[in-house]
Structure 1
Amino acid sequence: MKGLFRENIGEALVGLLVVLLAVWFVMFAWDRTGGGTKAGATRVTAIFPSASGVSPGTDVRVSGLKVGSVKGLSLDPQSYQVKVDIALDPSVKLPSDSSAQVTSEGLLGSTFVAFTPGGSPTPLKTGDTITDTQGSMDLMALIGQFINKPSTQAPAGGSTTPAPAKP
């Protein structure tokens, strides 16, 4: 066995380097995609009437910058609203009267939770609940309403005045 290792030391070192590089890449990707929660994260709950498009791992943003991620969702059995568990970066101190809304980057963009900071001098702390929320809008229903809206314009090529009655 020792002889085999001595003959293939170069290949063993290259293999070890590849394994270490793969481990580093997985850790880097996990951190950059929000897979892990930062130590000391502020854990809050937001209650939404609708959370379509939100799932664990969804970004939480303030002014377009990612400041946290969604950790879980559950249905409140009394109000039938969605409880969204959120982990916020501990370096971001949002006021306790901040509001949250489910929004998207556009018609084909991804969904995220957007926080709007309030004016309270006290910051959010772990265990707080945000009730000033706005749920997601059903974009397909809005597009359908726009397309199917009855027209109040005259038909093309026609006159808007009625023809005179014949005696």
Structure 2
Amino acid sequence: MKAAIKENGVEALIGFAVVLVALWFALFAWDRTGGGGAAGAIHVKALFPNASGVTVGTDVRVAGLKIGSVTGQALDPASYQVSITLALDPSVKIPSDSSAAITSEGLLGGTFIALQPGGSTEMLKDGSTILDTQGSVDLMGLIGSFINKSGDTAPAATSAAPSAP
């Protein structure tokens, strides 16, 4: 047995290192996608008419700073809107009348949920629902309508026919 360990010691160490890296990667991926959620996070829901680009793990930001992530999505059977569950950092107190909007960092940037704090003295609690929401904007549809000039409401110019003398 000792001879086998001496002969294959380097291979065993490399195998052990590979297993450690694989475990680290699995934990990193679990944390990054919001699988575990933050310890003690406040879970709130928000209903969006369109949630294109939002997945589990999408950032939730206030003033550009990440304060949470998306931990779940489901179709609300009553309103046919997307019910998104947000896990928020409990140290950040968000007023209960805050609004949420799905936005992107640009044409090629990632999507995130931006919270705009309200003015209420009552704060969001575990199980609260954000009522004021704005779904994601269809950028390709906007670009297409701009290129095709659809929705142009300017009246067409009419030319008067010359009258005969």
Give the TM-score normalised by structure 1.
0.80
Q: Deviations over 1:67-117 (max 9, x none)?
A: 111122222222222211111122222111111011111122222111111
Q: Secondary structure at the match of 2:121?
A: coil
1:146-165 pair list within 5 angstroms: 146-149=146-149, 150=152, 164-165=162-163
The residue identity in structure 2 corresponding to 1:80 is Y
1:5-154 pair list within 5 angstroms: 5-149=5-149, 150=152
Change (3 A) 1:116 1:164: same
The residue identity in structure 1 corresponding to 2:51 is A
Q: Which runs of no fewer than 5 residues in structure 2 stay unpaired?
A: none
Q: Deviations over 1:45-74 (max 9, x none)?
A: 001122122222222111112211112222
1:127 CA displacement: 0.3
Which whole-Å CA distance do the structure 2 matches of 1:11 and 1:110 have between them? 41
Which whole-Å CA distance do the structure 2 matches of 1:162 and 1:123 have between them? 66
Q: Secondary structure at the match of 2:143?
A: helix
Q: RMSD of aligned C-alpha atoms?
A: 2.7
1:13 CA displacement: 3.0
Larger radius of gyration: 1
Which whole-Å CA distance do the structure 2 matches of 1:37 and 1:3 have between them? 47
Change (3 A) 1:17 1:74: closer
Which whole-Å CA distance do the structure 1 matches of 2:73 and 2:14 have between them? 44
1:22 CA displacement: 3.2
Which whole-Å CA distance do the structure 1 matches of 2:29 and 2:78 have between them? 39
Q: How many residues in Structure 1 have an aligned counterpart in Structure 2?
A: 163
Q: Which runs of no fewer than 5 residues in structure 1 stay unpaired?
A: none
The residue identity in structure 1 corresponding to 2:65 is L
1:4 CA displacement: 1.0
Which whole-Å CA distance do the structure 1 matches of 2:153 and 2:108 have between them? 27
Identity between Structure 1 and Structure 2 (%): 65
Change (3 A) 1:79 1:14: closer
Which whole-Å CA distance do the structure 2 matches of 1:152 and 1:166 have between them? 31
Q: Secondary structure at the match of 2:80?
A: coil
1:14 CA displacement: 3.7
Q: Secondary structure at the match of 1:107?
A: coil
1:164 CA displacement: 4.8
Give the TM-score normalised by structure 2.
0.81
Which whole-Å CA distance do the structure 2 matches of 1:151 and 1:120 have between them? 41
